[in-house]
Amino acid sequence: MIRIDTASFTPFYEQVKAQLKARIRGGLLRPGDALPSIRDLAASLLLNPNTVARAYRELEQEGLVATRKGKGCFLSESASRLAGRGGLEGLHRRLDDAIAEAESMDVPPDQLKDLLDQRLRLRSRERHGRKKP
């Protein structure tokens, strides 16, 4: 369900949050669906349970998750609507940040496009089970 990129600079809890939000936006998770227990998800991802708990807690603060005592965590009724906020807008901001960083390093636009194409091809190969070049 969720994959952790140990080579990424993105904290693990943020990776968990981002992937859950992507699944909500994509319709794979719907309001009322139960999320895996913190312990189960942590064990499957080889993470400390506190890492998953932080991701769930932040999703709850954002209104995407509701915790039911003794029953677990469930997607809130407004999860689909809320997860869509900032979806593409958030991506645009992150792309703008990457472009600004590339500009500060004097990376020409054509080279930046080539780098993006390379990363997209690499991720596609990884998703389809092929080894990195």
What is the 8-class DSSP label of residue 11?
Answer: -
Question: pLDDT digit of tens for each residue in the chain (133 aa)?
Answer: 799 999 999 999 999 999 998 888 877 888 899 999 999 999 999 999 999 999 999 999 988 999 888 899 999 888 767 666 545 556 677 788 888 888 999 999 999 999 999 999 988 888 777 554 5
- The tally of domains found in the chain comes to 2
Does 132 map to a domain?
no
CATH number for the domain that contains residue 54? 1.10.10.10
Are 58 and 119 members of one domain? no
Instruction: State how far the Cα of 54 lies from the Cα of 124, in Å rounded to an integer.
Output: 29
Q: Token pair for residue 106?
A: 């004097």
* Residues of the domain holding 100: 87-127
Residue 75 is predicted with a pLDDT of 92
Are 43 and 66 members of one domain? yes
Does 111 map to a domain?
yes
Residue 17 is predicted with a pLDDT of 94
Residue 90 is predicted with a pLDDT of 60
Q: Token pair for residue 110?
A: 């054509």
Are 121 and 67 members of one domain? no
Are 27 and 65 members of one domain? yes
Are 97 and 75 members of one domain? no
Looking at the chain, which runs of residues are DSSP E strands? 65-68, 72-75
Does 67 map to a domain?
yes
Q: At what angle do helices 12-25 and 38-45 cross, to 10 degrees?
A: 110
- Cβ contact 72:37 at 8 Å: yes
34-to-18, 24, 25, 31, 47 alpha-carbon distances in Å? 17, 12, 16, 9, 20
Are 71 and 115 members of one domain? no
Q: Is the pTM of this model over 0.85?
A: no
